[in-house]
Chain A
Amino acid sequence: MTTPWKRLALLFATLMIALPATAASPQQLKSRGYIRIAIANEIPYGYMNLQGKAVGIAPDMARQVLARMGIHNIRWVVLPFGALIPALKAERVDMVAAGQAILPARCQQVAFSEPNSSYGEGLLVKKGNPKNIHGYRDFAQRPDLQMGIVSGADQIDYAHAMGIPDRQIVILGANMDAVSALIAGRIDAYAATRLSTARLADKLSQVTLAQPFRDPVIDGKPARSWGGFTFRKDDTALLAAFNRQLKAVQQTPFYATTLKHYGLPQKAIDAAMAKTTAQLCAGR
């Protein structure tokens, strides 16, 4: 058989085989031989680099933690941010490593690991900040401004809480679309975490951070989120084992080195340890 036909046969074979849909315990994962982890292609939380390798805060940490659990074979799956939790619930993947914020609404759907990172908010604007934007409040006060938010991201809650109407919000399908939408003038600012926006501003000369930046204030406190890894609710054994090894890795220098490598300041690393998932899920 020639190669194209072999490939075609392979395509048909994959077509016939639906991915195994079973709950995953650490033992089951080991006997299956691999774990499926979803990322959302968001720099620096978790993304595919140009060589096609999954990198970022969450993938790097997950690799280390899972290695300690004896799981070395990881199949990375790139999904739109909004599809991460549905894909996890649909058993399309076994866990999510995207630094998703631990929020009460999400805790009702899925189980979170202990926090792995902590971050504030930011706005990415065109170079030179032509619209003179310095915070969410500018959008509430100036109806001509358009804010881009990725579908399923929690920034929409901040925007609503700050009184920004839906017609000023453009819902983007993927994180990666934000910069081109900004450069094309489709949006005036991209609302995401401080880290995400800062990284994009570092890498690309056409965009910059909105500075000075006034944090959105929600219920009297500046908005701050804690990110963790996400699991299915039934996979309690997997979550417990992961949490145990996560704590262990967080005690090693690898943790701080990794987070700093991706641009997280020491202050944010300290803050990551200040809350537990139980507290965050209860909205405290």
Chain B
Amino acid sequence: MMFAQLLPPLLRGAEITAQITLASTLLGALFAFAAGIGKLSRHRALRWPAVGYIEVFRGTSLLVQLFWLFFALPIIGISLSPLSAGILGLSLNIGAYGAEVVRGALQATARGQREAARALNFTPRQTLWRILLPQALPEMMPPFGNLAVQNLKDSALVSLITLADLTYQAQNLRNITLQTVPILTATLLLYFAMALVLTAAMRWLERRVRYAAGHER
């Protein structure tokens, strides 16, 4: 079979991979901010769940988490579709890593700023939203870029819970046509290309954030 015939199914898979990566990165960012800010909270009721979430998801394997969401969770009556389980698993995992980035950046900017904010009569919430986050956000962007690429690579694991992403399509196609070398080579190149595009996009976003935060003029 010619390369031209192998490519369309792979591109269909690549589209799913792109969608899953995008959705789980965005949702993961949400988890990252919630848990990263939560970990710095003075309230135990916020801090402890955040710490627990971060430790459990950073301490266990993503594939185990995906299998657990896919195979084990339905037994207690929560049946997520493979797509939901895949996106949720990826975003919970990447969110836990992102949370440490958020926490680190916030702590780094907090020194000295907090006293100033208190002197100016800012409430803790105002301090967070108006002073700390705008300064910390640009610092978070480079590690976020790395995490986004990590997430793209991790998304290959959803093929093991039957989602028809790029890796799944490659495996299926390989089993039908037995054209192992061209299919797997094309698959690796497609992932590489997507990673380059994603890296470029994150760099662009980083510049926008820096600009908006007033770091560059």
Determine whether A and B are in direct contact in the complex, meaning some CB atoms lie less than 8 angstroms apart.
yes
Residues of B within 8 A of A173 (CB): 160
Main secondary structure, interface of B, reads helix
Q: Are A15 and B79 neighbours in the complex by a CB distance under 8 Å?
A: no
Which residue of chain A is the closest to B176 with respect to CB atoms? Answer: A50
Question: Closest Cβ of chain A: how far from B69's Cβ, in Å?
Answer: 11
Q: How far is it, in angstroms, between the C-alpha of A21 and the C-alpha of B75 when the chains are bound?
A: 11
Residues from 173 to 188 in B contacting A, C-beta threshold 8 Å? 174-176, 178, 180
Which residue of chain B is the closest to A9 with respect to CB atoms? Answer: B23
Given A11, A83, A92, which contacts B19 in the complex, CB threshold below 8 Å? Answer: A11
Q: Are B178 and A14 neighbours in the complex by a CB distance under 8 Å?
A: no
Which residue of chain B is the closest to A93 with respect to CB atoms? Answer: B79
Residues of A within 8 A of B23 (CB): 8, 11-12, 15
Q: How far is it, in angstroms, between the C-alpha of A234 and the C-alpha of B114 when the chains are bound?
A: 61
Q: Say yes or no for B88: interface residue by CB 8 A criterion.
A: yes
Q: Say yes or no for A120: interface residue by CB 8 A criterion.
A: no
Q: How far is it, in angstroms, between the C-alpha of A62 and the C-alpha of B87 when the chains are bound?
A: 32
Q: Are B171 and A176 neighbours in the complex by a CB distance under 8 Å?
A: yes
Given A21, A86, A176, A177, which contacts B77 in the complex, CB threshold below 8 Å? Answer: A21
Q: Are B79 and A18 neighbours in the complex by a CB distance under 8 Å?
A: yes
Residues from 141 to 198 in A contacting B, C-beta threshold 8 Å? 173, 176-177, 179-180, 183
Q: How many residues of A contact B (CB 8 A)?
A: 30
With contact pairs A78-B162, A92-B74 given, residues A15 and B88 touching in the complex (Cβ less than 8 Å): yes
Q: Are A14 and B175 neighbours in the complex by a CB distance under 8 Å?
A: no
Residues from 83 to 98 in A contacting B, C-beta threshold 8 Å? 83, 86-87, 89-92
Q: Say yes or no for A204: interface residue by CB 8 A criterion.
A: yes
Which residue of chain B is the closest to A178 with respect to CB atoms? Answer: B175
Residues of A within 8 A of B87 (CB): 11, 15
Which residue of chain A is the closest to B173 with respect to CB atoms? Answer: A50
With contact pairs A8-B19, A50-B176, A180-B175 given, residues A90 and B83 touching in the complex (Cβ less than 8 Å): no
Residues from 193 to 231 in A contacting B, C-beta threshold 8 Å? 204, 206
Q: Are B79 and A90 neighbours in the complex by a CB distance under 8 Å?
A: yes
Q: Say yes or no for A249: interface residue by CB 8 A criterion.
A: no
Q: How far is it, in angstroms, between the C-alpha of A89 and the C-alpha of B77 when the chains are bound?
A: 10
Q: Are A206 and B178 neighbours in the complex by a CB distance under 8 Å?
A: yes
Given A21, A79, A176, which contacts B172 in the complex, CB threshold below 8 Å? Answer: A176
Q: How far is it, in angstroms, between the C-alpha of A90 and the C-alpha of B69 when the chains are bound?
A: 12
Q: How far is it, in angstroms, between the C-alpha of A78 and the C-alpha of B176 when the chains are bound?
A: 16
Q: Say yes or no for B71: interface residue by CB 8 A criterion.
A: yes
Residues of B within 8 A of A83 (CB): 71
Given B79, B162, B178, which contacts A21 in the complex, CB threshold below 8 Å? Answer: B79
Question: Closest Cβ of chain A: how far from B21's Cβ, in Å?
Answer: 11
Q: Say yes or no for B110: interface residue by CB 8 A criterion.
A: no
Which residue of chain B is the closest to A12 with respect to CB atoms? Answer: B23
Q: Are A79 and B84 neighbours in the complex by a CB distance under 8 Å?
A: no
Q: Are A18 and B19 neighbours in the complex by a CB distance under 8 Å?
A: no
With contact pairs A79-B162, A176-B172, A183-B178 given, residues A15 and B84 touching in the complex (Cβ less than 8 Å): yes
User: Which 7 residue pairs spanning A and B have beta carbons closest together?
Assistant: A90-B74, A176-B175, A11-B23, A15-B84, A21-B79, A19-B79, A92-B79
Q: What residues of chain A have their CB less than 8 Å away from a CB belonging to chain B?
A: 7-8, 11-12, 14-15, 17-19, 21, 50, 77-80, 83, 86-87, 89-92, 173, 176-177, 179-180, 183, 204, 206
Q: Can you list 13 A-B contacts with CB-CB less than 8 angstroms, sorted by A residue number?
A: A8-B19, A8-B23, A11-B23, A15-B87, A18-B81, A19-B79, A19-B81, A89-B75, A173-B160, A176-B171, A176-B172, A179-B175, A180-B174
Apart from A14-B81, A15-B84: 8 A-B pairs, beta carbons within 8 A: A14-B84, A15-B83, A86-B71, A90-B75, A91-B79, A92-B79, A180-B174, A204-B178
